[in-house]
Amino acid sequence: LSLSLQAKMSRPVQAQRLEGIDKNIWVEFVKLAATYSMVNLGQGFPDFPPPDFLREAFMRALSGENHMLHQYTRAFGHPPLVKILAQFFGKLLGRDLDPMTNVMVTVGAYQALFCCFQAFVEEGDEVIIIEPFFDCYEQMVKMAGGTPVFVPLRLKAPKDGKLTSSADWQLDPTELASKFSERTKAIVLNSPNNPLGKVFSRGELELIADLCVKHDVLCISDEVYEWLVYDGKEHIRIASLRGMWDRTVIIGSAGKTFSATGWKVGWTVGPNRLLQHLRTVHQNSVYHCATVAQEAVAQGFQRELELYGKPDSYFIQLPKELQQKRDWLVQSLDAVGMKPIVPEGTYFLVADISEFKSDVPDVPDSDEPYDSRFAKWMVKNKGLAAIPLSAFYCGAHKNKYNHFIRFCFAKEEATLKAANDILQKWKQEKTSP
Ligand code: PMP
């Protein structure tokens, strides 16, 4: 007995930098959805398959002649993939890109983000994050020893009788400017934005760019939803604005681009002066990404380059289909009084649950934001899974924007119809005594 007591470690095992970042809302809500949901519009992934050309490319890579595709490839990106990404993004940005130094492949956009924070953020550095934000930004900044500084998008009052648009969430220029100081190392930009679906306008991006240049700040530009923009809206790359290329890392994801989130292929594009440090993090952590998936994604981009701007391009087709799905969900929600904010991009929208408060009454002084309790109640009692908007806020604003939930509409028609049925039935139960 005494031996085993001695063998038991008594010193703390957890590294200090993990303090306070152990919670993850996805773990909780994914589990709830798996346990209770009949219709899952929670986590962001399509329930329809990736395009045939991409699946075929994967199968060819897997079972073709070239058995070397089962082995390691180049650490910073499979050569065919970095080459085509350099060509593709070179065309989009109007500049010559070197596949070996201006592009790096990562395990999803998630690892790209991790590399950025580890590479650039020093103990005590501040990183500006626009709220609401994809939740890992905050935790990754903290893990790198930095301090996140939040600035909210503020929702303008809707015009009479009109549905609110994601464009009605806006930065206050003075407030944004007040967050920049000599301690600011970087700003994270996510356009199109998860969870709102906001697509930042040129004017908004210029405002951010001017502040970055003025204060010599880096921009980590998470553009994983770059192809998912609607109503003829244009996705503008902040790296293409004056003074920004040299200080911006663009982050992308084959998961979102080709509806294959499980493949976990992502990338970074930027100047070598920044990417060289991402390579250092990458070679000391993940080192290498799955070769077959990279080969297939390379072929997907090859096809898309050939079809660029043509009706058959997946980058044209996908947003067209998603726009229709968005409109269905907007209609379903609007019909039952769960007011949707119409997104201009991404496959998410947030909806106002205020009119449903009689079903899930508020608990004053509860630590848990109202929308979180509402989303849990909804999945348990109605079988419909969504994510509370407060999960995308930190601190002060968590309780200001606590009456919205986020839905993902990258779903089959049958799934959206099933969601509509649940909402309709719920509405009937509410109105009939
Ligand atoms: N950034 C944003 C804004 C996202 O929504 C996601 C996925 N939900 C990611 C990054 C991560 O992408 P990946 O799956 O390619 O790692």
The answer, yes or no, to whether residue 364 has pLDDT greater than 90, is: no
Question: Whole-angstrom distance between the N-terminal and C-terminal Cα of the chain?
Answer: 66
Query: Which residues sit with their C-beta closer than 6 Å to ligand 1?
Result: 44, 108-110, 134, 190, 194, 222, 224, 253, 255, 261, 264, 266
Q: Is residue 134 predicted with pLDDT exceeding 90? A: yes
- pLDDT in the model for residue 349: 98
- Our CA dihedral for 419, 421, 425, 431, rounded to 10 degrees, sits at 80
Q: Cα(50) to centroid of ligand 1, in Å?
A: 17
155 CA from centroid of ligand 1 (Å): 24
Q: What is the pLDDT of residues 266-282, one digit of tens each?
A: 999 999 999 999 999 99
pLDDT the model gives residue 6: 64
Lowest mean pLDDT among 175-179, 234-238, 394-398: 394-398
C-alpha 79 chain-centroid distance: 26
Distance from Cα 146 to the centre of ligand 1, integer Å? 21
Predicted pLDDT at 375: 96
pLDDT over 90 percentage in the chain: 87
pLDDT band at 433 (very low <50, low <70, confident <90, very high): low
Percent of the chain with pLDDT over 70: 98
> What was the pLDDT predicted at 45?
95
- Average pLDDT taken over every residue of the chain: 95
Distance 326 CA to ligand 1 centre (A): 19
User: What is the structure's pLDDT at 407?
Assistant: 98
Task: Place 96 in a pLDDT band, splitting at 50, 70 and 90.
Answer: very high
| Ligand 1, atom nearest to 254 Cα | 15
- What pLDDT does residue 79 have? 98
Cis peptide bond N-terminal to 343, omega within 30: no
pLDDT band at 194 (very low <50, low <70, confident <90, very high): very high
User: What whole-number distance in Å separates Cα of residue 202 and Cα of residue 180?
Assistant: 20
Model confidence pLDDT, tens digit, residues 304-330: 999 999 999 999 999 999 999 999 999
Cα(76) to centroid(ligand 1), Å:
19
pLDDT at position 413 is 97
- The b/e string for 172-193 (b: 16+ C-beta within 10 A; e otherwise) is eeeebeebbeeebbbbbbbbbb
Whole-number pLDDT of residue 3: 60
pLDDT surpassing 70 at residue 264: yes
| Nearest residue (CA) to ligand 1, atom 15 | 108
Report pLDDT for 160.
75
Closest ligand 1 atom to 112 CA: 16
Which of ligand 1's atoms lies nearest the C-alpha of 113?
10
Q: Which domains does the chain have, with CATH numbers?
A: 21-50+314-431 (3.90.1150.10), 52-307 (3.40.640.10)
Q: What is the pLDDT of residue 367?
A: 85
> In this predicted model, which residue has the larger pLDDT, 95 or 157?
95
| Helix/strand/coil (H/E/C) assignment for every residue in 212-223 | HHHHCCEEEEEC
Q: What is the pLDDT of residue 5?
A: 61
Q: Residue 4 above 70 pLDDT?
A: no
For residues 285 and 111, give the distance between their C-alpha atoms in angstroms, rounded to a whole number. 10
Is the pLDDT at 1 greater than 70, yes or no?
no
Mutate to test the pocket of ligand 1, among 221, 224, 297, 387 (most ligand atoms within 8 A of CB): 224
Look at residue 366 and tell me whether its pLDDT is greater than 90. Answer: no
Q: Assign 12 a pLDDT band (cuts: 50, 70, 90).
A: confident
